[in-house]
Structure 1
């Protein structure tokens, strides 16, 4: 018996230390997402299915509400990678940054907001918005700029034809609408579907369907970080691309069951309907490449909103080489 026991102990110790070694070998990557949203489902799929770990990365995800706050975190090295709208990188570049913020992997390719009416609406027309109180998003952010762009495309002047409310923080928009502010509100999923389920509103239009493809939400990092950590950026993008393929190939119910831990207070049926809505309108990018056509569409929307500070070329703060290399493997 003693001989047998002594033979087992070294094996157990080997397994224990091997496990510690494996865990310690993971490279930490701090990621700041601008909000927690089912709109970012591929990111949560990559986390839950262990795609980042398989690449040797330990992704520490934190939610920092507000694009400006995500940028501050990136610039101050509070985060390595940010998940936020591409417009923020344009704002930073226009200020003459010595260490530009580079877009290197796209996650979503349409607007993710929906127009929700407080009262039941049949046969909705954008004309119905005239003279109403419209609770929009933060000025200068992609949701607000896309919202204004779509309204103008339908003949509505957002600053003349309705009362545009845009002085409420992103995190408080839904609660403000619930408390009685606004006749219409611009919301992301699953909040929009939750409002419908609770009898607090009706989804009447999709801004994503109406505005076309844009680099709406993109993973980005400082140029210096990408230069110093090219392999990390490549591994990160490879894991993301695998998740993007999974989302394209699987149904909404399957995806919802995987990402449920990130939305514990939301019923899985609502997550499923939200994911299906995004899949049906092509919101999830099929691959991580941010192409020039999308970039130009982004600038057109910003320009139309009067928020384009400078005409920043695609190749100035967009790196497609990492994504293309991963896709060609």
Structure 2
């Protein structure tokens, strides 16, 4: 009886194990189907309306706003555009006051650099000004260029003057993001880059595919300076990429050269490709519309005819002409532009 009970016990365990495996297989199958369906829930159409806004023309003023704790530019530290010593003043009479500055709303600090007035030699200064006072920026930021404020990361991006490094400053610490770039074939760390912030506020660094040899990639900057690398197709090495996102979708999209790309399994891959004929130009004029769709244009440069396309989520009520499939990128042929 004991042997029979032991056998029955193991049999029961075996039945439970088989049941669990069946449930796991079904779950994986369902998950796979959902994933496949989610990748196919976008479509392309030539039917739609591009929104226009009747805004008055404004003159762009590149001068940033001063923070409330600085009344006027005259109250900025007295710095000059060139070394302002006695010899320079003797020959030229006066030094040009440096009034250009950069302001970070995130850090609520003003950054300014220039030369102090001296008797001999030069005295270069790169300063940051806050409510609590004025001090020199950290040594690794001296003579770097202010690039842009990054609210999502609570800091600022600077670019090194000599090697073009990507320097992130959170108000306390400077992080050289270029040290984390995948190495190019030549092993250089000074790969050219530019920042991109998407519609939903995500922050990225993109290597300048035009000026940089090696494998193109995108680097997402997440809170706490967590870095996520997103490889891009090799054929994009001679193009420049712009990034965007769709509503209610965490995946990354991009437009580069003749390609529109989507993030699949952590990599950017082509999903829409414009004909490579020399008289076909696009996609360009990419805009995100109020209904969540994205419009772009393709032009036949020979006939000067332009066609509008609308990238949107597929639904029973959506106007869809072509369903998108990441395994079969859509080719926009020139005959549609006759």
Q: TM (normalized to structure 2)?
A: 0.21
Greater radius of gyration (CA)? 2
Q: TM (normalized to structure 1)?
A: 0.21
The structure with the greater share of residues assigned to strand is: 2
The structure with the greater share of residues assigned to helix is: 1
Larger RCO (CA under 8 A, 6+ residues apart) = 1
